[in-house]
Structure 1
Amino acid sequence: MGNQSLANHDIDTGVQKNPWHMLGWLLFTQVLVAFVGRSLAPLGVFIGDSLMLTNAQIGMLPAALFFGQFAASIPSGILVDRIGTRPLLLALSLCLGLSFFFAALTSSFILLLAFVMIGGFGYGAMHPTSNRGILYWFERRSRGTAMGIKQMGVTAGSALASLLLVPLSAAYGWRPVFIGAALLLAAAGFISYLRYRDAKPISKEPKKKSENTWNTLLSMGKNRALLLVSGGAIGLNGAQMVVNTYIIIYTTQIIGISVALAAILLVISEIAGSIGRVGWGVVSDRLFNGNRFILMSVIAIISAASSVIMALFQPGTPFLYVAVLAFVFGLCVAGFNGLWMNAATELVPLKQAGLASGFSISVGSWGVIIGPPLFGFVTDMTGTFTAGWYALAAVLAITAILFIYLHLSQQTKGEINYAE
C-alpha cells in the first residue's frame, strides 16, 4: 500500500484522499472530456448540413481532433510529470471546452478545423494527465482495474454524446448543443480541480542533468518494447475509429438497417467498450498477474475475426446478429485502451509515467488519424465495403502477431515481472 500512503501527506484535510475517491474525479473529468470531444462523429451529419460540407470534409473533423491529440501528447506528458495531475485537469478542460465553444460560433470550415484541432490539445492531454494520477495512486495489483475504470469514461462519454446530443441537435441545432456541452466541460474542470489531489507533493527542486527530459524522451524512442506496444496500438486504435466512423454508413447502405437502429449499434459498441475497459483490466490483474501483452494479442485476434464476419454480412442480415457483432467488436477495439496505457507506463520508471503515456499516445494516435481515411480509400477504389473489412482484418492479424512476439520477448528477457 506504499503508493496509497503517499496520499496522507496532503495537508488539505477537507478532501478525502482515498485512491478510489480520486479515481472518481478522474473518471468524472474523463467522461465529460469524451462527451465533448467524441461528439464530432455523431453530430457530423448536422454540422455537414449546416456548413454544406462533403463527406470527406466531415471526416476531417475527427481527424483534426486526433491530430491535436497527437501534437499534445508528449508535451502534456512532460508537463504532468513536472507539475502533477491536478492543475492540468483544469487547463485541459478549459482548452477543449473553450475551443468547442468558439467552434460553434464560426461558419468557416477552416476556422472550425482550427478550433477542433486546438480542442484536440486538451483532449489529448487528458490521457497522460489521468494516467499519471492512477500510476501514483494505485499499486500494480489494482492498477489495471483502476485504469480500466478511468478509460471507461471515454466510451461512456462517447455513448452519452450519441444518446443525448444527437436528439438535442435534431431539435435545437448543433450550435447551441455544442455551446452547452462546452460550458458543462469547463464547469467540470473547475469542480475536479477543487476536489482532486495529487498523491504526493510535486518536487520544486530542479531536475538533475541525468534526468533531462529530452534525453529521457530519446531513450523512450530507443525502448523497443515501448515502440512495439505503441505500434500495436496503431492497429487497434485505427480499427476503433473505423468502426465508429463507418458502422452507421455500412449498416444503412449495405445491410439495410434504419438510421435509428444503426445509431443504436454505435451506442452498443461504445457500451461494450466501456465494459471491456474495466473487464480486460480485471482479467489482467486477477487471472494473468498483470500480464497485458497476451490479452492484447487475444483482443487483436477477436477483432480480426469480427472484421471478417462484418465483411460476410449480406443485405437483410437481422439486426440482432449485427448488434451482437457490434458488441464483440466494441468490447475489443474500444476496450483495449486500459491495457495499453498500463503496458506503456509499466515499461518505464514510475517517475516517467506521464511522458511514457504521452509518447505512446502520440504514436498510437496515428491509427485514428490515418485509419478511417485509408479504410474509405479502399472502399472507394474497390467499390465495396467488403475489401475494407478484409484489409482491416489483415492489419489486426499483424497486430496480434506483434503482441505475441512482444509477450514472448519480454518473458525471455525478464524485463517485466508480472507477479510484481
Structure 2
Amino acid sequence: RRGAAMGIKQVGVPIGGMIGAGCGFLAAYYDWHLLMLGVAFIITINGLACLTLVPISTRGRGAGKNIADVMRDGRVNAFAISGGVINMGQANFFGFLTLFLAEVARMGQQTVSFAMAVAQASSAMGRMGWGAVSDKAFGGRRIITMAWMCVAAIGFLAMMPLVDEAWGYVLGFGLALCLGLTIASFAPVAQAIQVEMVSPHLAGSAVGYNMLWTHACATLAPAIFGFAVDNLGGFTAGWLVTAGCVAAGTVILYFLVRTGPKRRTYGAGAE
C-alpha cells in the first residue's frame, strides 16, 4: 500500500496551499504583511517539529556513494527528468492560475483565491485517491497510472485558452478542479515509482535525486511561461507551451512504461 501511504503523506502540500489561498482572501480585509508573518511563524514551528520525527540512519555505504549509485541508473535518470519536466505543468498551473483568471476572466481577488482553494482541495483528494488507485490498477504498474494522469492533464491545459470573461466561472473553476485532480496530484504516484525502482537502502537517495530535477524544472517553468506570454501570444501561448512540456515528459514516461519495471515487492529476508 505504498501508493496510498505516499498519498496520505503528500496531502499536506495542498492543505498548505489551501491555507495560502485563504491568505489571498483575507488580504482584502487585513494587512498582507501581518498575514505573511503568520505564515512564516507556522513554517518555523513546522520545521522545528520535523526535527523530532526521523532518527539518524547509519545504514548504507555513505550518502555520496548511494547518490552515485542512483545517478548511474539510466532508468532512474530518465524517470527523474520526465518527472521534472511534467512538474513544470504543476508549477505553472499554481503559479499563474490566479493572475490568469484575474486578467482574462476579470475575476476579483476573493474569487480567484477561492478558485485556487478549489484547485488545492481537489489536489488533496487526488493525491490520496490516485495513490491508492496505483496500488491496484494495471497490476500495480504505477507508471501506467501516472501516464494516464498526464495525458488527461495535457488535455486540460490545452483547454485553458478557452477561458474568457463570459465563460470564466464555468471553465475557470471547472479546469481548476480537473487540473487539481491530475497535474497537481501525480506526486505521490511518482514518488512511489521512484522508491520501487531502486533497492530499499537507496530509496532516500533516489527520492532526493528525483526532487532535485523536480525543483530545478519548477524554477525554469515560470520563466518559460512568462516568455511565452510576452513574446508568443499571451496566456494562450503560455498554457500551450506548458501542455507541450507535460507532453514531452509523458513521452519519456511512455518509454518507461514499455521498458520499465513492474511494481517491486520484497519478501521476508529480501534486501
Same fold (TM over 0.5): yes
Of 141, 154, 173 in structure 1, the residue corresponding to residue 13 of structure 2 is: 154
> How many angstroms does 1:149 deviate by?
0.9
1:403 to 253, 256, 261: 253
Is 2:180 aligned against 1:313? no
Q: Deviations over 1:9-68 (max 9, x none)?
A: xxxxxxxxxxxxxxxxxxxxxxxxxxxxxxxxxxxxxxxxxxxxxxxxxxxxxxxxxxxx
Q: Could you say which residue in structure 2 is the equivalent of 1:185?
A: 43
Larger mean Cα displacement after TM superposition, 169-178 or 373-382 = 169-178
Structure 2 alignment gaps of length 5 or more: 267-271
Tell me whether 1:144 sits opposite 2:16 in the alignment. Answer: no
SS in 1 for 2:133: helix
Instruction: Say if 1:409 and 1:304 are closer, same or farther in 2 by CA, change over 3 A.
Output: same
Listed one character per residue, the Cα deviations across residues 353-373 of structure 1 (whole Å, up to 9, x for unaligned) are: 211111110012122100111
Q: CA deviation at 1:191?
A: 4.8
- Where structure 1 has 5 or more consecutive residues not aligned to the other structure, the ranges are 1-141
| CA distance, structure 2, for counterparts of residue 197 and residue 216 of structure 1 | 19
For residue 26 of structure 1, what is the aligned residue in structure 2?
Answer: none
Distance 2:141 2:190 in 1: 11
| The one of 172, 175, 187 aligned to 2:33 | 175
1:268 shift after superposition: 1.1
Shift of residue 189, structure 1, vs aligned partner:
4.4
Larger Rg: 1
Q: How does 1:128-139 map to 2 (within 5 A)?
A: none
Query: Letter of the aligned partner of 1:175 in structure 2?
Result: H
Alpha-carbon contact 1:233-1:367 (below 8 Å) kept: no
Report the TM-score when normalising by structure 1.
0.59
Higher-RCO chain (CA-CA 8 Å, sequence separation at least 6): 2
Task: After TM superposition, give the deviation of residue 228 of structure 1 in Å.
Answer: 1.5
Hey, what's the Cα distance between the residues in 1 that align with 2:235 and 2:109? 18
Matched letter for residue 150 of structure 1? K
Spell out, residue by residue over 1:238-285, the C-alpha distance to the aligned partner (whole angstroms, 9 max, x if none).
Answer: 111111121122222123333322222111111111111111111101
Q: Deviations over 1:86-128 (max 9, x none)?
A: xxxxxxxxxxxxxxxxxxxxxxxxxxxxxxxxxxxxxxxxxxx
**Separation (CA, whole Å) in 2 of partners of 1:369 and 1:272:** 24
Using the TM superposition, give the Cα deviation of residue 202 of structure 1 relative to its aligned residue in structure 2, in angstroms.
Answer: 3.8
SS of match in other structure, 1:256? coil
Q: Is the 8 A contact 2:87 2:218 kept in 1?
A: yes
Q: Percent identity?
A: 23
Within a 5 Å distance, the mapping from 1:8-407 to structure 2 comes to 142-163=1-22, 165-191=23-49, 196=53, 202-203=57-58, 211-407=61-257
Q: Distance in 2 between matches of 1:389 and 1:270?
A: 19
Equivalent residue letter for 1:395:
C
Distance 1:160 1:258 in 2: 18
SS at match of 1:333: coil
CA distance in 2, matches of 1:304, 1:250: 18
**TM-score, normalised relative to structure 2:** 0.88
The amino acid across from 1:153 in the alignment is: G
1:323–1:168: structure 2 CA closer, same or farther, 3 Å change rule? closer
What's the secondary structure of 1:365's corresponding residue? helix
Q: Distance in 2 between matches of 1:369 and 1:418?
A: 32
Aligned residues: 266
Residue 188 and residue 404 in structure 1: after superposition, are their counterparts in 2 closer, same or farther (change >3 A)? same
Matched residue SS, 1:325: helix
CA root-mean-square deviation? 2.2
